[in-house]
């Protein structure tokens, strides 16, 4: 109400009163945060008698007055529980400082008769009451998140929640167990693994990997394959270590290894490789064993091009021979570390000596850790001296049994058939020592011996079944090739329905020719086999495309992963420093652009346990020159399968390392000149230039590659456009005959030029 006040005189402003306005202009009610709220807490209290008359202030008689103010001593911020007393007609008011509504109804006692708002019977003093647990809001939120993560589906957000939950569990387990082992944090992957596959191996969300790559400035998609350096960076961000493996190793890791039952294991035939110098009777020994087998078995000859065959002895036991001396399959198998051969028979001529090829064969067998049997051949010849051969073997630290060693030996004559039966018996004796067994009930796996393209039958492959039984109709995968076994033939070209362990067969049905030395495996159905082969082929193609780079310091790591750059680590121990230095310098001089001999440690003294430990960590071989390992070192080397080679002549060590390195080299390519053709006339037409020629030597074919040579200088290298004899097109022209030819996409031809026809052939490279 406003009044008009008349003043006698003018005065200043007079303060009649004041209103406290809020400082905050926002007058809307605010929600209280979890921190501002008072935590609810149940306080167990002792129950009183049913009538509530134990305390005058807590009685609730008659129901005509408010209950006792038993809550007046409540401190601020404490919630009362919903205990109902007897007789009260209105809710009991809370204490003066509570600030929250009190839900106690009726009298102040916690027990008593049923009130107006409670029709349940009153409690008694003896009624037990369980204590309520203190509830924490943060704990509730964590439990809800964990439950949501566990129950999340397999799509998008669900996967992320599940991955985060698994990651949290891993961290929790790691904290409880201290620190995880290095093996658990090591991933074995191929170089070109995709983002989704890497996420599955690390058990994280693919979105996390993509975000890590974006943080590194790399844009990737879920199905994109990563390079080696990117994989190392991403994996290290998640606390893992990475080890790059080949495609075959990855397939072995993906395959589930079945544990064979002891009752399913059956004895199998030994796989024997006969090696040695070409002039020492190796071929004669093979021929004698074959002829003996053919005479004892059915009529018909053995297919000569098959790389493996089986011999059945008089007592019914079988031996599988692998014809791999000088064969590319053996080098591929040794390079992959596959133990295909069970026993190696080294043939040495008694009238000759241990030749370099014999040493190479011994080196191959030792590198594959295969037991050796020495067959000393040609003992029927004049001048044969078997003891000399044994002495030379002893110089290589190879002692035969007659000289107190562990290697078996047999003096034979392959031409006369002398003691061949004794040699076979010793092979069977070595087999009994090895206790070779396999499970014929499981799906087959083994190794490719050789493969080729037959015009009438398509791709054919000679394979060796190492475990399981291969049956007609099985789906097999080898490398990037797959197919259904349409037919199988044994070494006598007879069709068979199945091949048990240690059986060599020739199969039809593959869609390509796998490399010699690759492994094969049987799959359940065609879809699985096709997917596995396609995945391997894709990885191999990408490796081939990215491998076409000049090697630099930055590329060494990638080349090691691809397998195109090899390194041979060596530890040298000797008796005197001069010998150690000489051997180290000689071995390092063997290094090439593809294979590097790296001496990681050299010292004077015996071979110790620390040397074996270093070799195990660096994947090295130990070379001892006039020294021997200690008992502890020898025992540790045997446990860790570390190879220790000991020599007394430097030349032997150098030659053996050289031979092993040559086995690691890729074959070289050389040009073989097929014909020389002289140009004597020129005929120019609108579309081409035709040369009238005379074949000086050799034979030129229509599909040969050619070089145009002018004054001793190669002017052009290409292919023939046409080859004619008079007016007729011909496939080839021989020496001392005239012909006409044109060069594809080249017309600068002159009289007197020489056309050189050639072809490219692969040759074994040496150091």
pLDDT of residue 508: 93
Q: With the C-alpha atoms ordered 460, 465, 471, 476, is the resulting torsion angle positive or negative?
A: negative
The owner of tokens 């103010």 is 69
pLDDT of residue 198: 86
**Contact (CB, 8 A) for 348 and 280:** yes
In the CATH scheme, what architecture does the domain 269-435 have? 3-Layer(aba) Sandwich (3.40)
pLDDT of residue 678: 93
- Rounded to whole angstroms, the maximal C-alpha distance in the chain is 162
Average confidence score pLDDT of the chain: 73
Structure confidence at residue 83 as a pLDDT band (50, 70, 90): very low
What is the tens place of the pLDDT at every residue in 179-198? 333 445 777 777 667 888 88
Work out the average pLDDT over 201-218. 84
Nearest Cα residue to 96 out of 113, 62, 72: 72
pLDDT of residue 599: 87
Query: Any residues with CB less than 8 A from the CB of 502 and at least 6 apart, and which?
Result: 268, 269, 270, 271, 318, 320, 436, 438, 464, 465, 466
Between these two residues, 527 and 604, which has the higher pLDDT value? 527
Q: In CATH, which of 3.40.50.10050, 3.30.70.1290, 3.30.450.40, 1.10.1840.10 is domain 558-664?
A: 3.40.50.10050
Between these two residues, 453 and 97, which has the higher pLDDT value? 453
pLDDT of residue 72: 41
pLDDT surpassing 80 at residue 383: yes
Q: Could you give the CA distance from residue 538 to residue 546 in angstroms, rounded to a whole number?
A: 12
Same fold for the pair 269-435 and 558-664: yes
pLDDT surpassing 80 at residue 290: no
**Contact (CB, 8 A) for 273 and 414:** no
What is the tens place of the pLDDT at every residue in 4-52? 555 566 666 666 666 665 555 555 555 555 555 555 555 555 554 444 4
Query: Any residues with CB less than 8 A from the CB of 726 and at least 6 apart, and which?
Result: none
Q: Could you tell me the strand order of the sheet in which 408-411 lies?
A: 308-312, 318-322, 271-276, 343-349, 372-377, 408-411
What is the tens place of the pLDDT at every residue in 439-465? 888 889 898 887 776 777 888 888 999
What is the tens place of the pLDDT at every residue in 514-526? 776 778 999 988 8
Work out the average pLDDT over 660-680. 84
What is the tens place of the pLDDT at every residue in 231-281? 888 888 888 887 777 655 555 545 445 566 777 788 899 998 888 777 777
pLDDT of residue 334: 44
State the helix-helix crossing angle for 195-202 and 206-215, rounded to 10 degrees. Answer: 110
The per-residue DSSP string of 486-552 comes to EEEE-TTS-EESEE-TTEEEEEEEESS-PPTT-EEEEESSHHHHHHHHHHHHHHHHHHHHHT-S---
Give the CATH H-level superfamily of domain 668-763.
Answer: Translation factors (2.40.30.10)
**Contact (CB, 8 A) for 398 and 406:** no
**Contact (CB, 8 A) for 747 and 689:** yes
Q: Is 447 left (phi over 0), alpha (psi -120 to 50) or beta?
A: beta
Phi, psi angles (nearest 5°) of residue 137 = -65, -35
Q: Could you give the CA distance from residue 710 to residue 755 in angstroms, rounded to a whole number?
A: 9
Radius of gyration of the chain (CA): 44
Across 38-42, 366-370, 595-599, 609-613, the highest mean pLDDT is recorded for: 609-613
pLDDT surpassing 90 at residue 208: no
pLDDT surpassing 80 at residue 337: no
What is the tens place of the pLDDT at every residue in 344-373? 899 899 988 888 778 877 887 887 788 999
Work out the average pLDDT over 652-668. 80
pLDDT of residue 529: 87
Across 246-260, 377-391, 531-545, the highest mean pLDDT is recorded for: 377-391
Work out the average pLDDT over 327-334. 44
Q: Could you give the CA distance from residue 706 to residue 719 in angstroms, rounded to a whole number?
A: 6
- Could you list the beta-strand ranges (E) of 536-614: 566-574, 595-604
pLDDT of residue 622: 92
pLDDT of residue 485: 93
Q: With the C-alpha atoms ordered 235, 236, 237, 239, is the resulting torsion angle positive or negative?
A: positive
pLDDT of residue 457: 84
Q: Contacts from 552-560 at CB under 8 Å and sequence distance 24+?
A: 557/228, 557/229, 558/191, 558/227, 558/228, 558/229, 560/244
What is the percent of the chain with per-residue pLDDT over 90, rounded to a whole number? 17
Q: With the C-alpha atoms ordered 637, 639, 640, 642, is the resulting torsion angle positive or negative?
A: positive
pLDDT of residue 102: 42
CATH 2.40.30.10, applies to 445-546:
yes
Between these two residues, 698 and 87, which has the higher pLDDT value? 698
Structure confidence at residue 598 as a pLDDT band (50, 70, 90): confident
Q: Could you give the CA distance from residue 288 to residue 284 in angstroms, rounded to a whole number?
A: 6
In the chain, where are the structural domains located?
82-123, 269-435, 445-546, 558-664, 668-763
- Distance of CA 210 to CAs 159, 167, 201, 244, 384, Å? 15, 17, 15, 21, 73
Copy the structure tokens of residue 245.
Answer: 């493996």
pLDDT surpassing 50 at residue 123: no
Q: Could you give the CA distance from residue 479 to residue 712 in angstroms, rounded to a whole number?
A: 46
- Could you list the beta-strand ranges (E) of 379-517: 408-411, 437-438, 445-454, 458-467, 470-471, 475-478, 481-489, 495-496, 498-499, 503-510
**Contact (CB, 8 A) for 573 and 606:** yes
Between these two residues, 397 and 118, which has the higher pLDDT value? 397
- Distance of CA 545 to CAs 157, 197, 243, 562, Å? 37, 21, 22, 11
Copy the structure tokens of residue 289.
Answer: 């064993």
Query: Which of 122-126, 263-267, 376-380, 738-742 has the least mean pLDDT?
Result: 122-126
Between these two residues, 688 and 395, which has the higher pLDDT value? 395
What is the tens place of the pLDDT at every residue in 693-740? 999 999 999 988 999 999 989 999 999 989 999 888 899 999 999 999
Q: Could you give the CA distance from residue 699 to residue 697 in angstroms, rounded to a whole number?
A: 7
Query: Any residues with CB less than 8 A from the CB of 516 and at least 6 apart, and which?
Result: 327, 328, 329, 332, 448, 449, 450, 451
Alpha carbon 390 to chain centroid distance? 42
Query: What dihedral angle (degrees, nearest 10) is formed by the CA atoms of 328, 332, 338, 341?
Result: 10
Q: With the C-alpha atoms ordered 529, 531, 536, 540, is the resulting torsion angle positive or negative?
A: positive
């Amino acid at each position: 109400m406003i009044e008009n006040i008349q003043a006698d005189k003018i005065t200043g402003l007079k303060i009649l009163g004041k209103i406290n306005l809020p400082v905050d202009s926002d007058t809307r009610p605010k929600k209280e945060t979890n921190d501002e709220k008072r935590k609810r807490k149940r306080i167990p209290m002792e129950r009183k008698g049913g009538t509530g008359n134990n305390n005058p202030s807590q009685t609730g008689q008659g129901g005509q007055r408010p209950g006792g103010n038993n809550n007046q001593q409540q401190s601020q911020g404490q919630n009362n529980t919903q205990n109902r007393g007897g007789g009260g007609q209105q809710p009991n008011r809370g204490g003066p400082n509570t600030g929250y509504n009190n839900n106690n109804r009726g009298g102040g006692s916690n027990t008593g008769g049923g009130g107006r708002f409670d029709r349940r019977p009153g409690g008694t003093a003896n009624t037990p009451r369980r204590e309520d647990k203190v509830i924490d809001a943060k704990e509730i939120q964590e439990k809800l998140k964990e439950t949501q993560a566990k129950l999340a589906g397999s799509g998008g957000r669900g996967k992320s929640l599940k991955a985060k939950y698994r990651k949290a569990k891993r961290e929790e387990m790691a904290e409880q167990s201290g620190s995880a082992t290095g093996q658990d944090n090591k991933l074995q992957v191929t170089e070109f693994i995709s983002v989704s596959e890497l996420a599955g191996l690390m058990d994280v969300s693919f979105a996390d990997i993509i975000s890590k790559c974006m943080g590194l400035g790399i844009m990737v998609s879920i199905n994109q394959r990563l390079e080696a350096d990117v994989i190392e960076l991403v994996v290290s961000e998640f606390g893992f270590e990475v080890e790059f493996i080949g495609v075959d190793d990855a397939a072995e890791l993906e395959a589930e290894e079945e544990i064979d039952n002891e009752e399913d294991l059956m004895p199998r035939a030994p796989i024997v490789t006969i090696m040695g110098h070409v002039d020492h009777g190796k071929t004669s020994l093979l021929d004698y064993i074959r002829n003996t087998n053919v005479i004892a078995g059915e009529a018909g000859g053995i297919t000569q091009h098959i790389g493996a065959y089986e011999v059945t002895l008089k007592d019914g036991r079988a031996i599988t021979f692998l014809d791999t001396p000088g064969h590319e399959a053996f080098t591929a198998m040794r390079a992959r570390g596959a133990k295909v051969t069970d026993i190696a028979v080294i043939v040495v001529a008694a009238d000759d000596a241990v030749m370099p090829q014999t040493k190479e064969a011994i080196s191959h067998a030792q590198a594959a850790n295969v037991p050796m049997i020495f067959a000393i051949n040609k003992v029927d010849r004049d001048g044969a001296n078997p003891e000399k051969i044994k002495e030379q073997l002893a110089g290589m630290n190879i002692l035969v049994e007659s000289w107190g060693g562990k290697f078996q030996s047999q003096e034979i004559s392959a031409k006369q058939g002398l003691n061949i039966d004794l040699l076979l018996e010793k092979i069977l004796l070595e087999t009994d020592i090895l206790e070779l067994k396999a499970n014929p009930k499981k799906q087959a796996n083994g190794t490719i011996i050789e493969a080729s393209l037959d015009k009438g039958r398509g791709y054919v492959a000679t394979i060796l079944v190492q475990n399981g039984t291969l049956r007609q109709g099985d789906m097999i995968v080898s490398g990037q090739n797959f197919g259904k076994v349409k037919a199988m033939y044994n070494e006598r070209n007879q069709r068979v329905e199945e091949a048990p362990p240690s059986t060599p067969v020739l199969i039809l049905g593959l869609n390509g020719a796998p490399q010699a030395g690759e492994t094969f495996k049987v799959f359940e159905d065609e879809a699985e086999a096709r997917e596995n082969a396609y995945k391997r082929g894709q990885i191999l193609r990408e490796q081939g495309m990215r491998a076409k780079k000049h090697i630099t310091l930055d590329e060494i790591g990638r080349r090691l992963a691809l397998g195109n750059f090899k390194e041979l680590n060596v530890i040298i121990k000797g008796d005197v420093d001069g010998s150690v230095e000489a051997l180290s310098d000689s071995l390092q001089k063997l290094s090439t652009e593809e294979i590097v001999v790296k001496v990681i440690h050299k010292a004077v003294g015996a071979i110790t346990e620390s040397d074996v430990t270093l070799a195990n960590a660096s994947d090295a071989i130990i070379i001892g020159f006039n020294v021997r390992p200690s008992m502890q070192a020898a025992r540790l080397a045997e446990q860790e399968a570390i190879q220790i080679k000991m020599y007394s002549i430097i030349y032997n060590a150098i030659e053996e390392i050289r031979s092993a390195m040559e086995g690691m080299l890729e074959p070289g390519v050389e040009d073989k000149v097929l014909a020389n053709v002289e140009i004597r006339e020129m005929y120019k037409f609108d579309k081409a230039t035709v040369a009238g020629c005379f074949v000086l030597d050799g034979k030129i074919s229509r599909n040969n590659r050619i070089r145009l040579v002018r004054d001793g200088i190669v002017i052009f290298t290409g292919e023939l456009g046409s080859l004619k004899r008079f007016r007729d097109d011909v496939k080839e022209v021989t020496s001392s005959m005239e012909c006409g030819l044109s060069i594809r996409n080249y017309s600068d031809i002159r009289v007197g030029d020489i056309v050189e026809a050639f072809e490219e052939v692969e040759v074994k490279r040496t150091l």
